[in-house]
Amino acid sequence: MNAPAPLDINGTAIDATFAEAFPMKATRLVITAHTPTWAMHAANSLAGFATSVIGCGCEAGVERALAPAATPDGRPGVAVLLFAVSSKELAKQIGRRVGQCVLTCPSTAVYGGIDPATSHAPLSDPAPLGSGLRFFGDGWQIAKMIDAGNGPTRYWRVPVMDGEFVCEDTAATVKAVGGGNLLLLARDLGAALAAAEAAVAAMRRLPNVIMPFPGGIVRSGSKIGSKYAGATASTNDAFCPSLIGLARRSELSADVGCVLEIVIDGLTDADVGAAMTAGIGAAAGLGRAAGVLRISAGNYGGKLGPYHFHLHELAAGLNGSHA
């Protein structure tokens, strides 16, 4: 079989490889508040310590800010996406995070953000929202049924010290995709950060995706397994510049001084693919002259998940790419 033709954009090589992603369960929550600042406070708190399901239980992040015209109660809002490996774990994380981070935040309310009638992602089991949090009302909570045109929906009004906490009874959830990724190989840290920041900014302009790590970027890319018993993951030594010439299977040439990874979760595989394409275009748009040497991706030979995002296919339609 012939080797794939090389592909580059502005002198940045695009590896003939694929990112391997896996099934997850997800939901969108819409948090509203008296001001945009307080809606964002609640959203950032809810999405804290949610970078990886390996140690955090879920992966979560702010999807976008919402104008009052786009929220259920006409107030400023923020849309947050949460991803977990199962419906049970997702429901647990929603209950804990909304209870501790949104219920507690001044002036907030929270609503399910996925409309089952229009969702492009396959629906999964609804997750409890207000149906569990209502017990904080200690018997003073009130249920309210409202029909906004899509059938009656139950809301809970829970008395709190600044008035009432309003919360939808349940949140629709969907089957989703986690673990899409890009590896950006650069001349040095400055070049890698500039490329990764540009890629994340481009991805964040798209709906239905999050990049859950700090600033959307992760430096501690991992591989499955370890030489130490009990460790499920360890450093991706093949992409560690300090191990060039030491690691048996280094993927790096001597001119690579830094590698940064971007992990993408999306409501559908199409959403993840679109975000990866935008990221490739933004990072490679800086080009080799800016120190962006290669773009690659992490996979486990197809054994981890059924979603395979081939970089050459994603990059084929970008202006400036050529074989």
Q: What is the pLDDT of residue 6?
A: 72
Which two tokens mark 22?
Answer: 């896996």
**CATH number of the domain at 7-17+176-322, please?**
3.30.70.520
Of 144-153, 281-290, 303-312, the one with minimum mean pLDDT is 144-153
Tens digit of pLDDT for each residue in 76-88? Answer: 999 999 999 999 9
Measuring CA to CA, which residue among 175, 156, 160 is closest to residue 266?
175
Q: What is the pLDDT of residue 122?
A: 93
For the chain, the average pLDDT equals: 94
Put simply, whether the predicted model's pTM sits higher than 0.85 gets the answer yes
CATH 3.30.70.520 domain extents, the chain: 7-17+176-322, 25-172
pLDDT at 289 over 60: yes
Of 130-134, 229-233, 266-270, 276-280, the one with minimum mean pLDDT is 229-233
What span, in angstroms and rounded, lies between the C-alpha atoms of 229 and 50? 25
Q: pLDDT band for position 321 (50/70/90)?
A: low
Mean per-residue pLDDT for 231-241?
Answer: 91
Element (H, E) at 282: helix 269-286
The CATH architecture of the domain made up of 25-172 is: 2-Layer Sandwich (3.30)
Tens digit of pLDDT for each residue in 156-165? Answer: 999 999 999 9
Residue 284 has φ and ψ, to the nearest 5°, of -70, -20
Residue 222 near residue 235 (C-beta atoms within 8 A) = yes
Q: What is the pLDDT of residue 296?
A: 97
What span, in angstroms and rounded, lies between the C-alpha atoms of 214 and 194? 15
Which two tokens mark 149?
Answer: 């045109």
| SS3 of residue 96 by DSSP | helix
